[in-house]
Amino acid sequence: MNNNILDKGVQNYINANLNADVNQIALAKSPFDNVTAAELANQINAKKKAEKKLPSWYVAENIYYPQALSVEQTSSEVTAKYKSKLIKGKSLIDVTGGFGVDSFYFAKNIHHVVHCEINAELSKIAEHNAKILGANNIDFIAGDGLEFIKTSNQTFDTIYIDPARRAEKGKVFMLKDCTPDVVSNLNLLLAKAERVIIKTAPLLDITAGLSELTNVSEIHIISVKNECKELIWVIDKRYDKDIKIAAVTINEKVKEFSFSKSQFATTANFAEDVNLEKYLYEPDAALLKSGAFNLIATQYNLRKLQQQTQLYISQTINNNFPGRIFEIEEIISSGELKSKKLLKGNVIVRNYPAKAEDLIRKYKISSSNDKFLIFTKNYQNQNIIIKASIIQYY
């Protein structure tokens, strides 16, 4: 950590060049004796990445940024704030602290936080920024968090851990493929805390995760603007009851679709005649990740369009639905489509035998801000096109 970066002149330079080409800055001669051009470029690049993801860091003065990759990999403020509501008790250890965003939000809701980070420089950076942001109840340890738990006599109310994948294993991976290995060390973690919270990438299959973990009480699927960001596994000592699964969508409003694992096998009603319906519902990515496709229909009093199509139909509007809602204007058969002229709308393809880009080219479809053409199948397995206007965004 180069403390010269915190000098007023350097900070002014960084803020004045946030819209500059960082590659040119990296190649040019640094205007400062004790700060290299590469360091300046990295501070600018990392701060730009923090603007929307970490607005509290971005607007604060004298924040020191790590390598831009660390900013990319850290939790966003909105997901960290949500996770802070899941912690238990008065003390928490963040085993894989990183840039310190999660620890900062945990510290708002708990008396004492220990932040462990094996990268000594990143640990120093997180500690400096915590002081700048006024988080004075966090202790920083530059070392292996799992080793600290193994060798320390301390116990905690909550342990938080964000294991990283050791290597690219394809789209499906197991927790045992990550480091720290939470599967092999779960008994140790539960011996040191009442609650263990594990953050994983959304690529992790929920069924696979449950096959590796015990005592899971809750699973939270977090999406931001229709992109799944995190899977959060809450593990409680001695817990052996039904598991709560929550699909949480964070946009202008936070919405939650939650259910017990035992409810998963419910059945759904189908829209036998889509022409009689008024509104089409498209679930957020978090709901789709939950896999509870039939339960979405029953909880929101909707009818499924078709068994393999995760679109839903209703005659009423439910603004609590986590996803997009469209007002249906016209149902077009695939045969009728050929005679349609001046087609206009954003194209959505769901369970239809063609790609969106091919349909746009074939039928000369022009784009629109609020009009949509939804290519899909109906209950009778016929190809249809739903012409609709959007009335609720993600």
Examine the pLDDT at 254 and tell me if it is beyond 80: yes
Rounded to 5°, the CA angle 156-158-160 comes to 120
State the pLDDT confidence band at 176, using cuts at 50, 70 and 90: confident
What is the percent of the chain with per-residue pLDDT over 90, rounded to a whole number? 94
Q: Which fold has domain 3-72?
A: Arc Repressor Mutant, subunit A (1.10.10)
State the pLDDT confidence band at 177, using cuts at 50, 70 and 90: confident
Instruction: Determine contact, residues 160/199, Cβ cutoff 8 Å.
Output: yes
pLDDT for res 394: 92
Burial degree of 266 (CB within 10 A; 0-12, 13-18, 19+)? middle
* Distance linking the first and last C-alpha atoms of the chain: 40
State the pLDDT confidence band at 133, using cuts at 50, 70 and 90: very high
Mean per-residue pLDDT for 340-351? 95
Q: Which two tokens stand for residue 212?
A: 């590796």
The torsion region of residue 181 among left (phi > 0), alpha (psi -120 to 50) and beta comes to: beta
Mean per-residue pLDDT for 43-49? 98
pLDDT for res 165: 77
Q: Can you tell me whether residue 353 is helix, strand or coil? A: coil
Q: Which amino acid is at 351?
A: N
User: What ranges do the domains of the chain cover?
Assistant: 3-72, 74-241, 274-392
Q: Which amino acid is at 47?
A: K
Identify the DSSP state of 85: G
Burial degree of 367 (CB within 10 A; 0-12, 13-18, 19+)? exposed
pLDDT for res 11: 98
Identify the DSSP state of 214: S
State the pLDDT confidence band at 265, using cuts at 50, 70 and 90: confident
Mean per-residue pLDDT for 135-152? 98
Q: Which two tokens stand for residue 296?
A: 């979405």
Pairing of strands 112-117, 91-94: parallel
Mean per-residue pLDDT for 255-260? 98
pLDDT for res 310: 96
Residue (of 260, 318, 264) closest to 294 by Cα position: 264
Q: How far is residue 171's CA from residue 381's CA, in Å, rounded to a whole number?
A: 30
Examine the pLDDT at 247 and tell me if it is beyond 60: yes
Q: Phi then psi for 193, rounded to 5 degrees?
A: -155, 155
Instruction: Determine contact, residues 258/244, Cβ cutoff 8 Å.
Output: yes
CATH code linked to domain 74-241 = 3.40.50.150
Residues 6+ apart with CB under 8 A from 187: none
For the stretch 82-126, pLDDT in tens is 999 999 999 999 999 999 999 999 999 999 999 999 999 999 999
Pairing of strands 178-179, 254-260: unpaired
pLDDT for res 169: 54
Q: Which two tokens stand for residue 266?
A: 């419910």
Instruction: Determine contact, residues 230/160, Cβ cutoff 8 Å.
Output: no
Q: Which two tokens stand for residue 326?
A: 């469209």
Q: Which two tokens stand for residue 227?
A: 């992109």
Residue with the two structure tokens 């011996």? 191
Examine the pLDDT at 170 and tell me if it is beyond 70: no
Examine the pLDDT at 281 and tell me if it is beyond 90: yes
Rounded to 5°, the CA angle 51-66-198 comes to 85
pLDDT for res 173: 72
Residue (of 188, 108, 199) closest to 148 by Cα position: 188
Instruction: Please give the model's pTM, rounded to 2 decimal places.
Output: 0.95
Residues 6+ apart with CB under 8 A from 382: 333, 334
Q: Which amino acid is at 33?
A: D
Rounded to 5°, the CA angle 191-177-99 comes to 70
Numbers of helices and strands, H then E, in the chain: 15, 18
Instruction: Determine contact, residues 343/295, Cβ cutoff 8 Å.
Output: no
Q: Which two tokens stand for residue 51?
A: 């603007």
Mean per-residue pLDDT for 188-196? 98
